[in-house]
Chain A
């Protein structure tokens, strides 16, 4: 974390955060902002996330999969369609992720915040 704060490796990147748990969202957004990113969201449901994708500049999406029982794969698909990388931050196993999204980076909850920033950085290279 300290290193990320110093270097601000995500400076200038717009990162969409989709997470339905308030405190987890706060934590993810805090880590991304500390690394220099502009956070879009957090969005707590698919509707909010999809309209953000339509209306805002987004360079990368960090997505929880289960949004109050609703599977959020359509958000990842929508990002993909626009050539925007999606990163899953989830409690689910890889086996839950559909084949067409299997190559997306999957970070396991509780998410290592340094790894999250690194994953966003390399996805946006």
Chain B
């Protein structure tokens, strides 16, 4: 065998191998043939299980390397802690084969092949009683370098494929969310129409509701998996309704809401704000609003949000029939988030309590208590 000629052929084959498993096959076969020609044996490993091929017998054994000294030497390579190939000379060790045979291990060469799942390695061993020629080890070193290059190319391929999969997932998610939002918007239009008192009433409220849906969707798109801050959500809705900063305060730990929680709660806050501006505390100069929230510990940890208006008299102005906002708080939140809610039209203004299982609405919640904050930061 002319090793150089042989290697050239192998490299050609490697270059044209379109798929990773094909490349691995090419490399393992080449390594085995080179080892054969050189009176060595070849070992390939995936994780902690190894295939040991004895060059002359052409037999393949499975063995467990965990308890052998060889494993201690190979493990960092298998874990990918060392990049490229490594030559370990002069190490004397033995591995026990399934047959009971012992193999003397003067590890010549270990090349980690980064397989799709975990790592694989090829190692060459002297066979007992055999010596190898220098020519052969050089050939193997060249092969090792080629494998190192191929392995880094595969890693790049993997990263590229992963980023492509990620792109695909993001675009599928966006498409799904868009369709869902359209469905949700249509159902809100339909419901608004069913309970509207007049065309003007319908148009005015619908426009504002779609604005609220748009705002929270925008915030969710920006925030991604990190979630939207409850405080930001409340502030955004109050600012959108032009509520003056001196009229309200917010107090509660930092809570980041996930998509579903933010979606449902934003619309609820919007309706409460709209109602308050029309009939409640925010409609009068002396009225005040406190939005507070806290984590409630228990078997099922909960988030309790309180909306407390004061400084106005609205008992007589309480809606005679259930409006959209009331339905949202009394039906939608319990249905979508498993929330317990109370909406009271008390003498000082509206009081609304929303008690939601934390898991149904939040990504996480900060543990330490927070000072009260007004509208202004």
A residues with CB within 8 A of B = 20-27, 44, 66, 68-69, 90-93, 96, 108-111
Q: Which residues of B contact A (CB under 8 A)?
A: 172, 175-180, 182-188, 190-191, 260, 331-332, 335-336, 360
When A68-B260, A68-B360 are in contact, do A24 and B184 touch as well, CB less than 8 Å?
yes
> Which of B179, B188, B332 is within 8 Å of A91, CB to CB?
B179
* Choice from B177, B183, B336 contacting A111 with Cβ under 8 Å: B183
Alpha-carbon distance between A27 and B187 when the two chains are bound, in angstroms: 6
Dominant secondary structure at the B interface: helix
Question: Chain B contacts of A110 at CB under 8 A?
Answer: 179, 182-183, 185-187
Min CB–CB distance B3 → chain A (angstroms) = 49
Inter-chain contact total with CB atoms closer than 8 Å: 59
Given contacts A22-B331, A23-B188, A68-B260, contact A91 B183 (CB under 8 A): yes
Q: Of A22, A96, A108, A109, which is within 8 A of B172 by CB? A: A96
Once the chains are docked, how many angstroms separate the CA of A108 from the CA of B178?
11
A25 & B183 in contact (Cβ 8 Å cutoff): no
Contact partners of B172 in chain A: CB under 8 A: 92-93, 96
Closest 4 CB pairs of A and B: A91-B179, A23-B187, A110-B183, A109-B183
Once the chains bind, are B182 and A26 in contact (CB under 8 Å)? no
Q: A5 vs B217: C-alpha distance in the bound complex, in angstroms?
A: 35
* CB-based contact A27/B186 at 8 Å: yes
B178: which A residues are within 8 A, CB to CB? 91
Nearest chain B CB to A117 CB, angstrom units: 16
- By beta carbon, the residue of chain B nearest A45 is B338
Q: Which of B175, B178, B188, B336 has the most CB of A within 10 A?
A: B336
- Whether A22 lies near B336 (C-beta < 8 A) is yes
Q: How far is the CA of A108 from the CA of B175 in the complex (A)?
A: 11
Can you list 11 A-B contacts (CB < 8 A)?
A27-B187, A69-B260, A90-B179, A91-B175, A91-B176, A91-B177, A91-B179, A108-B179, A109-B180, A110-B179, A110-B186
State the Cβ distance, A70 to closest chain B Cβ, in Å.
Answer: 11
- B91 CB to closest chain A CB, in angstroms? 51
Q: Which residues of B contact A111 (CB under 8 A)?
A: 183
| CB closest residue in chain A, given B192 | A23
CA distance A85 to B186 in the complex (A): 26
Bound-complex Cα distance A24 to B190 (A): 10
Closest chain B residue, CB of each to CB of A91: B179
Chain A residues with Cβ under 8 A from B180's Cβ? 21, 66, 91, 109
- Give the distance to chain A from B289, nearest Cβ to Cβ, in Å: 26
Asked if B335 contacts A22 (CB within 8 A), the reply is yes
Most buried by B among A24, A66, A108: A24
CA distance A22 to B179 in the complex (A): 16
| Distance of A61 from chain B, by nearest CB (Å) | 18
